Structure formats: C-alpha cells, structure tokens
A = this chain, B = another copy of it.
Amino acid sequence: MSPINETHDPALRSWVDSANRPDHDFPIQNLPFASFRRRGRDEPWRGGVAIGDAIVDLAALHRVQPFEGVAAQALAAAAQPQLNELMALGPAHWSALRLALSRALREGSAQRAVVEPCLVDQAEAEYGLPARIGDYTDFYTGIHHATAVGKLFRPDNPLLPNYKWVPIGYHGRSSSIGVSGQTFRRPLGQTKGPQDAAPRFGPCQRLDYELELGVFVGPGNALGEPIPMAEAEDHVFGVVLLNDWSARDIQAWEYQPLGPFLAKNFATTISPWIVTLEALAPFRVPFAHPEGDPQPLPYLDSPDNRARGGIDLTLEVWLQTEAMRRAGEPPHRLMASNFADAYWTVAQMVAHHTVNGCNLQAGDLLGTGTQSGPGEDQGGSLLELTCGGQKPVRLPNGETRTFLQDGDTVLLRAYAAGAGRARIGFGECAGTVLPAPALVV
C-alpha cells in the first residue's frame, strides 16, 4: 500500500491558483488522471491530469520531455489516447510520475514555464473512457445495501449465508460503459408481477441508479496465478465513481438462477477522473468485520488490510429532474454514505477475483457494489430510499420520485477530507434518462 510522502503534504500550494481553493476537488495533492480532448476540434484523445480548473495535457508535456527515468516512461504511457499502458506499468512508475508532476506544479517550481503552455481549461474539455475496459466485474461489498435489498425479498433472513464469507461478485457488460454525461434510453423488457399469469413487454417502470465506486486494475496477472493479499493493491491503479443503472422490474423476473443481465447491461456510467490509490493514502483506515462475524479466510486476510484496508471516502447521490433543470434549480442531494462501511476491501476484491486463477488485465474495471450507509436515509439506490417504491422521495420543488422518470439526471459525487488533510475530490458522474425507444416486434 502507498505510504504517505511529500506529495500528500497539506501545506503544498500550486502556481495554478484555482487548485488552492480549499473546497476544490483537484488540489495539488490529488492529481487524478483522465482521457480528454478539446471539444469541437478534430484532435486526438490523450491522457490528462487535473489541477484546479485546468488539465495538464500529458501528450503536450511528453513532447517537451520534462522528466527523466521511470517518470518519463510513465509520462510517455500516459500521453496515449487511453491509459491502459500507464496502468500496466505499476506503482513505481505511477508514483514517480505523481512526484514529478507534484514538484512541477508547486508554487515556485522552476518547471512552471515548461508546464504552463501544456494546460487546457477544463471548461473546454470533453472526456472519453479512461481505458479500454476488457472485462467489467461488479462486486456486492455494501452490506447495508445487501441487507436492505434482502429485506424486501426475505424480511426474516435478509443476508444470504455466503455473504459474510465470500466477496460476492458477477460479470457485467463492458460495451455499454460510458463516461459522465452519458444519456441512455429507458430499457424495454419483460416484467411480471407476482400476481400476473404471464409476463408483459414494455418500458421498464422501476428504473433506478446505484451508487458505487469503480476500481481500475493496474498490472494484470497470468492465467492460473492468483494475486495474494499482500500484493493486491499493487494491481490497482485508482478509483472512479460508478453508477450501475438498474431496471428493478426486469431484474426481479430475469435474475434466477444466473444473476442480473438485461436489468443492468443497458448502461453503466463512470466519472472521467481516476483518483489514484496513492492520492487516497492519507485516508486509509483500519478494516475489520464486526465482532461476532466470521473473520476473513486466510486468502482474504493480511496485516496491511487490517491496519488500513478501508478508505474514508464520503459518497453522495444528487438528483436533478427535467423540471428542476428547466427552472434553473440546482441538483438536490438524496443521500450520503461512506466507503469505510463496505464489508470487503479493494484488496479483498482483487485477491478473491484471482484466487481461482482468473486473469485480470490492465484497464479492467471492478465495481464495488452499491454503497449504502447504515441509516434509513443512506440508501444508495431509490429501491432502498423508497422502501421498494412504497415511500416516495419528495424533492424541494414538490415533485416526488419512487423510481426515475425520463429526463432525470443522477449525479454521483465523492470526496475524502478532514484531519487537516487536503480535500481529495472525484469530480462528478452524471447520467440522464431518455425515453424508451418505440417497441420493436
């Protein structure tokens, strides 16, 4: 796991003024990566690093060769249209590039004159998927979510017997993953109520979001060679926000016995900026299963994981309806939770995924599952916040929601803060529901 080093010093300030605002997502202690280009121009995608309101264009920076050694190698990889090559290099390269960028962007840096011409205004940018995502896996690490959803189906026995032993996961769809700003049509599908004699076909009536983090895999492992816990985080590049859009009515009818399929694979939205694990180092917290719960099996346990396997990271869901948008009203916050409440850590996700020999590849994406908090108002989906559609959520403008309506925009946000540390923000993960297409028969 990444140690604390000079790049985390909360006293650091950048010559990019906007990065020094105390409430900014992207201070010099963050330095997240994205794939970007300037909107409306015929120019290639390339890697960028956020600093305040600006982006360091890593392709432009690479052309002036400001760094040496492994930092220069990492910069060359980060200048590519997507970040798979950078991800494949591993922690020593990532850390060297972070240190070089941190030093170059600090107040008083001698490299300012070299770096400043490489800045692009974020307001001018559009973002692409930061990596070619070979495989996308979604875990289920939010025990409060698993319990709340389980209660809707099995009031007396909400958690299945495997939950506290197995970091439950399943494979998702890579092709329909989009970056913040994604719009998608309400899915069509089969649904069947418990009283219905036969299923009906039509637009989903119980469309929902799920608040998750997405973990980008760094160097992969060879088929048949599990990654042990002690090395797991060396295989993790960083973290994004992830909205696992879900069609609850389609899911209820289709998911037995092989799991969710069309209920999930119509769209998944991630935030463009990958916050590195190294940037989050000051916010690592001890991890333990509650007393009385089974302790992790040895292949899911390590001293480091117990000491600081968790991440103290606040997660939020915001909603802006079409009416709110037209009236110029800002998004409304629906809930907040913390990733420190997850039942399994990022390292455990990696170790479990590979223990059978399954091979991860650089750029693979691992979803954490919905991160609900312990409180009733901390559900990470509408299914939870509305008790399965029974208790509508009321919005400031008087509108209510049980599930999502056409035109609704859902925004996820996250930040780590406190204890005198610089605030590490994630930017935004926004997605908007469009009407269903005409029925096809």
Contact = CB atoms under 8 A, between A and B. Distances in A.
Given A297-B190, A357-B184, A175 B135 contact: yes
Nearest to A254: B166
A184 B356 CA distance: 10
Interface stretch (A224-232, A234-242, A402-410): A224-232
A265 B258 CA distance: 14
Contacts of A253: 162, 166
A58 to B, nearest CB: 26
Interface in A373-390: none
A233 interface: no
A160 interface: yes
A165 B185 contact: no
B266 A173 contact: no
Among A160, A201, A441, the one with the most B-chain Cβ atoms within 10 Å of its Cβ is A441
Contact of A171 (B171, B178, B256, B360): B171
A364 B175 contact: yes
A440 interface: yes
Contacts of A224: 184-185, 266, 434, 437
B256 A258 contact: no
Contact of A437 (B138, B226, B359): B226
A204 B198 CA distance: 40
Interface in A206-229: 220, 223-226, 228
A254 B140 contact: no
A220 B173 CA distance: 14
Given A198-B165, A254-B166, A299-B440, A173 B358 contact: yes
Contact of A358 (B255, B266, B299): B266
A290 interface: no
Among A134, A137, A190, A356, the one with the most B-chain Cβ atoms within 10 Å of its Cβ is A356
A172 interface: yes
A361 B175 contact: yes
A168 B261 CA distance: 8
Among A174, A192, A299, A440, the one with the most B-chain Cβ atoms within 10 Å of its Cβ is A440
A223 B298 contact: no
B356 A247 contact: yes
A176 B223 contact: yes
Nearest to A228: B440
Contacts of A294: 198
12 contacts: A135-B173, A160-B257, A162-B199, A165-B192, A166-B253, A168-B254, A168-B257, A170-B171, A187-B355, A226-B440, A258-B259, A262-B358
Given A170-B171, A259-B260, 17 more contacts: A134-B174, A165-B199, A166-B254, A168-B254, A170-B261, A175-B358, A176-B357, A185-B224, A188-B299, A198-B294, A224-B266, A226-B437, A228-B440, A266-B358, A267-B357, A299-B441, A357-B437
